[in-house]
Amino acid sequence: MTTTDNAPALTPEQKADIRRRYLAVDTSNVADVLDTLGFMDQSLAADFAPYPAHNNRIAGWAYTIRGQKTPYPLGGDAEKMKACHGVGPDEITVWSGDGEGVCYFGELIALGMKERGSVGAVIDGGIRDIRWIGEHGFPVFARYRTPTQSIGRWKVNAWQVPVVMRGATSRTVEVSPGDFLLGDEDGVIVIPARVVETVLLEAERLTRTEVAIRAELASGLSLADALAKYGHV
C-alpha cells in the first residue's frame, strides 16, 4: 500500500483483515466517527449509486485513476490499460475526471480488475454493461449509467495520484492512493489512510452498541429507556 500522511505500512494480510472488518460496519457509523475526529466532509455525493442495485456493499483500498475529455482516434486507450495493470488485491479503483456523459468502466475492465484481486470500483462518471458486471459479482458505485464508450472521447492521463471526487457536504472530496473507501445502502465514504485503523476500532464499538440496543428493543425495552441506558449512537 502507498503510505500517505504518515499512515502506517501494512502487510497484505493486515490490509485484507481490515477490509474484512470494514465490511461488517455501516457507513453511517464510520461517518459519525470521522466527524468526531474532525473529518467533516468525507462522504461522496448522493448520486453515487451501486450498479446493479443489489451490488450495494463495497470496501477496499484506493487505487486512483484520473482522466479528461480528449478527442482521439478510435482504437483504445493505452494509458488506461497501463493504469489498470497496476491494480492489486483488496484495492478499489477510484475513477476521476471531466468525461461527463461517457462510460469510464465496463464489463471487460471489471473482469481484468477481478483477475488482479481488485474488489470493486468507485466512478465519478459513467458505467455500462451493468447486467454483466452484476453477473460477475463485481461491486461498482458510479454517478450515472450510459451506453456511450470513452474511446475517442475520454482518456486516462494519470494514476496513483491524489484525485478529487464530487462530495456530499463539500464540492469535492480528495482521495489519495492508500485511502480506504466504504460503500453501502447509504452511500460511499472516504477514510484517510492515516486514520483507517482508528476509525475502524471505534466504528466496531458503535456497531456492537447498536446490536445490543436492537436486541433490547426487540425484547421490549422502550426507546426512551434505551437512550437513557446507551445515550446517543
Task: Give the start-to-end residue ranges of the domains of the chain.
Answer: 12-193
Average pLDDT over residues 68-90: 90
Instruction: Band the pLDDT of 222: cuts 50, 70, 90.
Output: confident
- The pLDDT of residue 224: 74
- The pLDDT of residue 232: 63
Is 117 known as a binding-site position?
no
**May I ask the CATH class of domain 12-193?**
alpha beta
Is 58 known as a binding-site position?
no
Is 129 known as a binding-site position?
yes
- The pLDDT of residue 214: 75
Average pLDDT, the chain: 91
Is 174 known as a binding-site position?
no
Asked if pLDDT for residue 135 goes beyond 90, the answer is yes
Asked if pLDDT for residue 81 goes beyond 60, the answer is yes
Cα angle 136, 137, 138 (rounded to 5 degrees) comes to: 95
Is 185 known as a binding-site position?
no
Average pLDDT over residues 13-36: 97
Instruction: Band the pLDDT of 101: cuts 50, 70, 90.
Output: very high
Set of cell numbers at residue 129:
454493461
- Which of 19-23, 83-87, 104-108, 229-233 has the weakest average pLDDT? 229-233
Instruction: Band the pLDDT of 76: cuts 50, 70, 90.
Output: confident
Set of cell numbers at residue 87:
491494480
Is 128 known as a binding-site position?
yes
Query: Considering the chain, what percentage of its residues have pLDDT values greater than 90?
Result: 76
- The pLDDT of residue 1: 35
What global pTM score does this model have? 0.89
Asked if pLDDT for residue 210 goes beyond 50, the answer is yes
